[in-house]
A and B are shown apart, each in its own frame.
Chain A
Amino acid sequence: MVAAVEGARKATRTVPAMAKDAVIFAAVSLALAIPLVGFYITDQGSTNTLHTRFGPMFYGVGVLFLGKLALSFAESSEAIARRIALIGSALAVLWFVIAVTGVVQDDNQVLGWFTWIVVVAVAVRGWVESRRSGAAARAIATAEGTSLGAAVARLGRFLGPLFIGIALVAPFYAAAIDDKRLVDLGVLIFTYIMLGWGLNVVVGLAGLLDLGYVAFYAVGAYTYAVFSVKLGLNFWETLPVAGALAASFGILLGFPVLRLRGDYLAIVTLGFGEIIRIILLNWAELAGGAQGIGGIERPSFFGMPFTASPPEGTTSFNEFFNIEFSPMHRQIYLYYIILLLALLTNWFTLRIRKLPIGRAWEALREDEIACRALGINPTNTKLTAFAIGAMFGGFAGSFFATRQGFISPESFNFLESAIILAIVVLGGMGSQIGVVIATIVLIGGPEWFRDLAAYRMLAFGGLMVLIMIWRPEGLLAHREPTIRMHSQKRSA
């Protein structure tokens, strides 16, 4: 996939070259799709049967072919080519719709796979694009991105507190209309915002493409799970340990990849994410293997559990405040915990950006060789980025464990990493508010439109493709200097 994306980078002008690009793209997708989609096994009693589903597979590849062709045309400087691109994308969408509604009926899973292939390709491509300097066609897009980003940055002073204000009162609104789903959605969104902000340190600031971020999320989750189940420690006691352990895993990952950059780094970090997951899957004694760990202690409010019938000797939250028991209470409490953790992450990141280490991360992203010439230790700088990014992943993981009460390796697969990376890249790398907006779009959107069933993934994938075409540097690619010599008189 990465290779295909690399191939696509050489944006060519002639039609045959574009067609060749699209063929290569489709061929790589096909190669991936044959084992992933083309074959599947059903388990009937003791016999496993191998089935094929080449029809849907070819439909998917066809969609990718047309989409890629459209993408190449869209990049062209000529109006006619862009018009062809429009027609091409329309065809691709049409084909997809046919595939969803008519020919392929109950194969949402197939569509899901293809959507994910597109999502990952787009995310990696977006990252590569944004690292690429020059290219006149891009300059226009960048200038547009900058002006929007600058406008949002100027509004940031008002937007930030406004967002926080809304986030603070949202649960009361949800409680008033008794919508548990809304609070759940809020918790989910803030979990991903926190993960996005954490990964932003590694990818956005230090420029290290990390496809295995979910590993640190898993380390944090399992740390709390094990400490809670085996040692009986509570969430707040375990939180620093989980952060520290995840940070050490960040350093552990950091060491072997110090010399790697770009795509190579992405592949190794991807492998690291899988290694952690597979270790958890096979470590039955400690991590419970595929069964995972259940019965993890749910959070309590200063020792007061959120249960209808508290155990002997404890007072439950509702008894203490003398209110009627409601499962909403725990949800709302969880919501405030993750809100607090996410805001802490944000505060820390904003702060550290203005410190020498934060500037060194960004300098490292811009030019590692120049950094070395200036006497900056690239090893330490990279490792701190990995460690701090991982630490926030660990915090979020602990929260995930206490929220779910049950965790298994299944929750920490590659797709999670891909979503988090997509949030960072689509939001505009390094932009804190971009992460918030991208999370609301990427996580909130599909949850909100769950009623659309199969189509929501289609809409979601399409949206990502559109964002990458019009805003290759992310929604908000504006960067404010961390220190100014003059007051902002001229930007007004």
Chain B
Amino acid sequence: MADPPPAAGASSPTLLTVEHLTMRFGGLVAIDDVSFEARNQHITAIIGPNGAGKTTVFNCLTGFYKPTVGRLTLRPPAGGEFLLEQMEGFRIGQHARVARTFQNIRLFPKMSVLENLVVAQHNKLMRASGFTVTGLVGARGYRDAERRAVELARYWLDRIGLTDRADDNAGNLPYGAQRRLEIIRAMCTEPRLLCLDEPAAGLNPRESAELNELLLFIRDEQKIGVLLIEHDMSVVMKISDHVVVLDYGRKISDGTPAEVRNDPAVIRAYLGEAETDELPPEVAADLAEEGRI
């Protein structure tokens, strides 16, 4: 894959501001005073060794955890402001429109691919069905809304090449397709911020490249912000505009991929003194090239 075109530039507005985020579970401090920003139309990657607190950040952002301390502000480009830490879980998806995927895929396996995508448009369709009342008597407004929902689903299915399997059960898809389906299901909620938890996990190189393409498409064409947790450095380094590095719940580095790659603190975190085997091969290769090892 050729080098991706750069993002809309540093001029794009800040979408998400995380300030002093701290999450404690009893005596365990999972995240310790982390602050960072994510811009609209940027892919912001959160990386770090296992147990660094990356998924915990996501769980705070999407309302699965209530942060112990901290402020999470989402400022849509169109104006307005959502304080995510004060919102109930499902309302973050409904009103702030922060969508997410999960490390272990969470589709609705016994429902069809298309149904998965239509369920994602639940709130819109609930309104169109007059909260079930007018939908029950078969009002025209609902049928139109449902047709538009299917159109949106088809748009995304065409994009990932799964249109042919729209009526199959989601659980019967191959692993890579399930990953992509989960991403477009999140896109069907028409989010402002898309949070992806290790989307490249378990993908082969070809699928990984397709994923990169999809994420760049989402950034450039849908003009939304993407937040990405990833271990696969080929994904992180190629497509991120901005990288935040966590280690033991603290932020240790923050900058462009090139800056982060050369940050001694990051190298120490990944290399450690006795944790050499934790170094991702790509980073190792990069470091070897630069004569650091």
- Give the CA-CA distance A374 to B106 in the complex, in Å: 11
A376 and B119 in contact, given A355-B136, A366-B111, A481-B114 (Cβ under 8 angstroms): yes
Asked whether, in the complex, the Cβ of B91 is within 8 Å of the Cβ of A133, the reply is: no
Given A359-B119, A367-B107, A484:B167 Cβ within 8 A:
yes
Complex-state Cα separation, A367 to B107, whole angstroms: 7
Report chain B residues within 8 Å CB of A356: 118-119, 122, 125-126, 129, 132, 135
B246 at the binding interface (Cβ < 8 Å):
no
Determine the distance from Cα of A372 to Cα of B100 in the docked complex, in whole angstroms: 10
- Among A360, A366, A372, A483, the residue within 8 A (CB) of B89 is A372
Residues of chain B having any CB pair with chain A under 8 Å: 62-64, 89-95, 97, 99-100, 102, 106-112, 114-115, 118-120, 122-123, 125-126, 129, 131-132, 135-136, 142, 146, 150, 153-154, 157, 163-164, 166-167, 171, 185-186, 189
The answer to whether B106 touches A367, judged by C-beta atoms less than 8 angstroms apart, is yes
Q: Is the CB of A374 within 8 A of B185?
A: yes
Query: Would you call B114 and A479 a contact (CB within 8 A)?
Result: no
**Docked-complex contact A485 and B122, CB < 8 angstroms:** no
Bound Cα distance from A481 to B172, whole angstroms: 14
Residue of A nearest to B135 (CB): A355
Interface residues of A in 437-486 (CB under 8 A from B): 479, 481-486
Overall SS of chain A's interface: helix
**Nearest CB in chain B to that of A480: its residue:** B112
Distance (whole angstroms) from the CB of A489 to the closest CB of chain B: 10
Inside 8 A of B62's CB, which chain A residues have their CB? 373
Cβ contact within 8 Å between A360 and B154: no
With contacts A360-B122, A370-B106, A373-B100 taken as known, whether A486 is within 8 angstroms of B136 at the C-beta atoms is no
Q: Could you tell me the distance between the alpha carbons of A129 and B208 in the complex, rounded to whole angstroms?
A: 35
Chain A, residues 359-381, CB within 8 Å of chain B (1/0): the string is 11011001101111111111000
Chain A: CB-nearest residue to B157: A485
Contacts of B94 in A (CB 8 A): 375-377
CB distance B114 to A485 under 8 Å?
A: yes
Alpha-carbon distance between A31 and B114 when the two chains are bound, in angstroms: 49
Cβ of B119 and Cβ of A481 under 8 Å apart? no
| A and B contact pairs by CB, cutoff 8 A, 25 listed | A352-B132, A355-B129, A356-B135, A360-B119, A362-B108, A362-B111, A362-B115, A363-B111, A366-B107, A370-B102, A370-B107, A370-B108, A372-B89, A373-B62, A373-B102, A374-B122, A374-B189, A376-B123, A377-B94, A481-B111, A481-B114, A483-B115, A483-B150, A485-B167, A486-B164
**List of B residues within 8 angstroms of A485 by Cβ:** 114, 150, 153-154, 157, 163, 166-167
Q: Is A181 an interface residue when CB atoms closer than 8 A count as contact?
A: no
A357 at the interface (CB under 8 A from B): yes
- Using Cβ atoms and an 8 Å threshold, which residues of chain B touch A360? 119, 122
Beta-carbon contact of B109 and A133 below 8 Å: yes
A363 to B106, CA, bound (A): 11
CB-defined contacts of A376 to chain B, threshold 8 Å: 90, 93-94, 119, 122-123
Instruction: Using A355-B136, A366-B111, A375-B93 as known contacts, say yes or no to A483 and B146 having CB atoms under 8 A apart.
Output: yes
Closest 5 CB pairs of A and B: A375-B93, A375-B94, A366-B108, A485-B166, A481-B112
A10 contacts chain B at the CB level, 8 A cutoff: no
The residues of A with any CB-CB pair to B shorter than 8 Å are: 133, 348, 351-352, 355-357, 359-360, 362-363, 366-367, 369-378, 384, 479, 481-486
- A352 touching B136, Cβ below 8 Å: yes
Q: Is the CB of A374 within 8 A of B99?
A: yes
Tell whether, in the assembled complex, residue A363 and residue B119 are in contact, meaning their CB atoms are under 8 Å apart: yes
Q: Which chain B residue has the least Cβ–Cβ distance from A430?
A: B110
- What residues on B are CB-neighbors of A366 within 8 Å? 107-111
Q: Decide if B122 touches A481 in the complex (CB within 8 Å).
A: no
A479's closest neighbor in chain B, by CB?
B110
- In the bound complex, how far is the Cα of B131 from the Cα of A376, in angstroms? 13
Question: Across the interface, which residues of A come within 8 angstroms of B64, CB to CB?
Answer: 369, 372
Q: B129: which A residues are within 8 A, CB to CB? A: 355-357
- The answer to whether A373 and B99 touch across the interface, beta carbons within 8 angstroms, is yes
Residues of B within 8 Å of A367, CB to CB, are: 106-108
A375: B residues at CB distance < 8 A: 90-95, 97, 122-123, 189
Q: What B residues does A482 contact at CB under 8 A?
A: 115
Q: Is the CB of B99 within 8 A of A359?
A: no
- When chains A and B are docked, how far (Å) is the Cα of A348 from the Cα of B137? 10
Contact partners of B157 in chain A: CB under 8 A: 485
- How close is B62's CB to chain A, nearest CB, in angstroms? 6
A54 to chain B, nearest CB (A): 46
Q: Inside 8 A of A363's CB, which chain B residues have their CB? A: 108, 111, 119, 122
Q: Is B167 a contact of A486 with CB atoms below 8 Å?
A: yes
CB distance from A376 to the nearest CB of B (A): 5
| Min distance, Cβ A365 to any Cβ of chain B, angstroms | 8
A482 to B, closest residue via Cβ: B115
Known: A357-B131, A378-B90. 8 other contacts (CB 8 A): A356-B126, A363-B122, A366-B108, A374-B93, A375-B90, A376-B122, A481-B114, A485-B153
The residue of chain B having its C-beta at the shortest distance from the C-beta of A357 within the complex is B132
Complex: how many Å from CA A352 to CA B135?
8
Q: A360-B122, A367-B106 are known contacts. Are A373 and B93 too (CB-CB below 8 A)?
A: yes
B287 to chain A, nearest CB (A): 36
By the criterion CB–CB under 8 Å, are A374 and B115 in contact?
no
Q: In the complex, what distance in Å separates the CA atom of A355 from the CA atom of B186?
A: 20
Most chain-A Cβ atoms within 10 A of its Cβ — which of B92, B122, B189?
A: B122
Contacts of B102 in A (CB 8 A): 369-370, 373
